[in-house]
Amino acid sequence: MGVLIGPETRLLCQGMTGRMGTFHCERMIAYGTRLVGGVRPGKGGKRHLGLPVFDSVAEGAAATGANVSAIFVPPDNAAAAMIEAIEANVPLVVCVTERVPVLDMVRVRHALKGSRTRLIGPNSQGLLAPGSCKIGVMPSIHERPGRIGIVSRSASLTSEVVEQTSRLRLGQSTTVGVGGDPVHGLGFAACLELFLADPGTDGIILIGEIGGVEEEEAADFLRSARPKKPVVGFVAGRHAPRRRRMGHAGTINIFGRGDAEGKIEALRQANVFIAPDAASIGETMRGALTS
C-alpha cells in the first residue's frame, strides 16, 4: 500500500499529444499506470496513443472518471493548466514542468486555497508506487515493492536512494518528488504526515537540499508529531557557495538562511537519523529500522 497513487488511479494527461507528453505517457502505460485520456485544447474528439483526447480537463474528468492529472505543458502555460485542473476538482495534480515563473505559481497557490486538490510540483519528478502506478518522469529501473517511503526535492538523489533501498531489500512503498522550485504544492511536512498514517510504510527517507525552509518545517512537524516510525534525512549542498543558485530555482543559500548545516541540525533535533553522505542513506535507514 502506498500514498496518493495506486491501482485505483485513473490518470488524465494535460499535454499528452506533445513530444514529451507522448514519450512519457507511453512509458507510464507500459509500466501499468491506468491512463484514461489526454487534454489538448482544439484536439477534442481525436485519439492519441489509442486514448481519447478532450478539449478541457472538466470534460475529460467527467467522461473518464479521472482522479489524477499529470501536466506536461510548457512553462508559459503550465500555471493555467494547473489552475484548470484545480477548478475541475481533480483530487491530485502532478506537474513535471520546470521553470514555471514564480509569480505564476503564486496564482496557482491562491487557486489551491479552499480547493479539494493536492498539487505535486512543479519541477517534480513525479510519483512511483512500485508494481502499481507511475506518474511523471521518474525512472523505474531499480524500484522494488517494499515499506520505505521516500520524499525528495532532488531528482538525481531520488534515483540513487531508490537503488540503495532496493539493493538492501527494503524496497519502497511510494516515492514522491515534491519538486525543487521555491513555490510549489505539497511539501515535506504534508508528505511526512501521509507516510506516517500509511500502514504500508515502516520508515521514511527525506532528501533535502539547501534553500527555502522545507526541511525546517518538516523538523517542526516531526517534533510535534513524535513519530514511532524512523525518519532518515539527508541534506545536499553542504559545500555550496552562498548567494549563488545551485541547480534549480529552489536551491539558493543567501544571507545565512537555508544553509545545509542549519537544516541538518533542525532535523537532528527532531530525532531524524542523519545520513553522513549520499552513499550511506540506505544503510542509515536499515540501521534506523533495527535501532
Q: Is 248 a catalytic residue?
A: yes
Instruction: Give the contacts of 216 (CB within 8 A, at least 6 positions apart).
Output: 262, 263, 266
Q: Which of 24, 48, 184, 248 is catalytic?
A: 248
User: DSSP labels for the chain?
Assistant: --SS-STT--EEEETTTSHHHHHHHHHHHHHT--EEEEE-TT-TT-EETTEEEESSHHHHHHHH---EEEE---HHHHHHHHHHHHHTT-SEEEE--S---HHHHHHHHHHHTT-S-EEE-SS--EEEETTTEEEES---SS--B-SEEEEES-HHHHHHHHHHHHHTT--BS-EEE--SSSS-SS-HHHHHHHHHH-TT-SEEEEEEESSSSHHHHHHHHHHHH--SS-EEEEEE-TTPPTTSB-SSTT-B-BTTBS-HHHHHHHHHHTTPEEPSSGGGHHHHHHHHHH-
Computed on alpha carbons and rounded to an integer, the radius of gyration of the chain in Å comes to 18
CB 69 within 8 Å of CB 95: no
Alpha-carbon gap, residue 92 to 148, rounded angstroms: 22
Nearest to 15 by CA among 87, 62, 100, 80: 80
Query: Active-site residues: which are they?
Result: 248
